[in-house]
Structure 1
Amino acid sequence: MIFENYGVEKHYDSHEGSKTYLLKFLKYLAPPESISMPAFPQHTDKTFLSILHQNGVNGLEVKSKDGEWISLHLPPKSYVVMAGDISMGWSNDRIRSCEHRVTMEGDKTRYTLGLFSFIKGLVSVPEELVDDEHPLMYKPFDNIALINFYATKEGREAKSTLKAYCCI
């Protein structure tokens, strides 16, 4: 769907063949004394896409374009799909990675199942996504190298890890 929307269908097969996945079970403990407290700091995922399913205990918050934090109150059988930094780099900033965090309150433990997709090899902006209105923003980069950069002090402190790592 993303590839069709941007007119880059010819790149779909090579993209599909270069993906790898991580399925992760996440547990966030209820805070002491039922106070509201951060359980996971604000960040963007270093993925192409992240798909999350939670156990009905809310806590996921996303940052809006105007900087407001929005608490997501989701029906029990719903999924959240978020673009990661790799989508942002691949799309030449047409898709923005979703800044989010987890804040816990109440007396229940939060469980989340996350499916995270990564790209093996170099990620390059398709030439069809570069024009006068959208000049090339990123040098080709490696998804795993970006994660390794994020583990450094410079990567963690950057406002945008992706831009600090490979922005032109």
Structure 2
Amino acid sequence: MLPHSEDVHGTAKRFAELEETVRQMILEGLGVAKYHEAQNESTWHLLRMSEYKAPNADEKWIGYVSHQDTNSLSVVCQHEVDGLEMQTRDGEWILVKPSPTSLIVMVGNALRAWTNGRLHAPFHRVMVRGDVTRYSAILFSVPECMIQAPDELVDEDHPPRFKPYRHDDFVRFCVSEEGARHEDKLKAFCGV
């Protein structure tokens, strides 16, 4: 049964409200809350529903390859079937197992760059196994402004890590032949 458009719109609205609240908390924690409203005005949201067919096997299959999101924040809702894995900073892959009433919020490369590398954008992938199809809903917050760390987040202890860039230009780089050659696409695109 397909969801009604009102249900999808309502879900997207609640995800966007959560994303905005989490982003506000992050900015407050970094001491740069004054930028929150400007970020809201230059952010749009994309809701994607994903289906990962069951491979009918005990071995894990790659449902979606390892990557970092290009956007600011991603809000993920898994439905009953696990499969999202994140790579720790030391390279270990771990299965993300939220409670049935929890959502997963991940930092993307736009927020990593905007915070001058103070936030980590984890590599993640979807691995599926067994005979049950995996479904998820993901909200991406996409910036339409210049991504540039504010002066408050750049100092002697935190020198500039990324050159300013436009999100659309970065996305084009990521899907280009040149971008495909790099694991850390943000660093390759605009790293200092």
TM above 0.5, one fold?
yes
Q: Percent identity?
A: 36
Alpha-carbon distance in structure 2 between the residues aligned to 1:110 and 1:15? 33
| Residue 64 (structure 1) aligns with | 88
| Residue 24 (structure 1) aligns with | 48
Where relative contact order (Cα < 8 A, 6+ residues apart) is larger, the structure is 1
- Runs of 4+ in structure 1 over 6 Å off: none
Residue segments in structure 2 that go unaligned for 5+ positions in a row: 1-24
**Residue identity in the other structure for 1:136:** P
**Aligned-partner SS, 1:159:** coil
Alpha-carbon distance in structure 2 between the residues aligned to 1:121 and 1:25? 26
Alpha-carbon distance in structure 2 between the residues aligned to 1:99 and 1:74? 18
The answer as to 2:100 corresponding to 1:76 is yes
Normalising by structure 2, what TM-score?
0.85
Please tell me the root mean square deviation across aligned C-alpha atoms, in Å. Answer: 1.0
Alpha-carbon distance in structure 2 between the residues aligned to 1:33 and 1:88? 37
**Pick from 56, 62, 66: which aligns with 1:42?**
66
The answer as to 2:135 corresponding to 1:116 is no
Residue segments in structure 1 that go unaligned for 5+ positions in a row: none
Q: Report deviation, 1:130.
A: 0.3
| Residue 11 (structure 1) aligns with | 35
Alpha-carbon distance in structure 1 between the residues aligned to 2:164 and 2:26? 20
8 Å CA contact 2:62, 2:127 repeated in 1: yes
**Pick from 121, 124, 130: which aligns with 1:97?**
121
8 Å CA contact 1:47, 1:85 repeated in 2: yes
Q: Report deviation, 1:16.
A: 1.1
Higher helix share: 2
Alpha-carbon distance in structure 1 between the residues aligned to 2:34 and 2:127? 41
Alpha-carbon distance in structure 1 between the residues aligned to 2:54 and 2:100? 18
**Residue identity in the other structure for 2:123:** E
Alpha-carbon distance in structure 2 between the residues aligned to 1:43 and 1:162? 11
Alpha-carbon distance in structure 2 between the residues aligned to 1:18 and 1:88? 17
Alpha-carbon distance in structure 2 between the residues aligned to 1:129 and 1:69? 30
8 Å CA contact 1:56, 1:75 repeated in 2: no
Q: Report deviation, 1:11.
A: 1.3
Alpha-carbon distance in structure 1 between the residues aligned to 2:189 and 2:150? 19
**Pick from 156, 172, 187: which aligns with 1:148?**
172
Instruction: Provide Cα deviations, 1:108-151, integer angstroms capped at 9, x if missing partner.
Output: 00000000001002111000000111001111111111111101
Instruction: Provide Cα deviations, 1:44-80, integer angstroms capped at 9, x if missing partner.
Output: 0011000000111010000011110001222222100
Aligned length: 168
Alpha-carbon distance in structure 2 between the residues aligned to 1:27 and 1:45? 18
Normalising by structure 1, what TM-score?
0.96
**Aligned-partner SS, 1:97:** coil
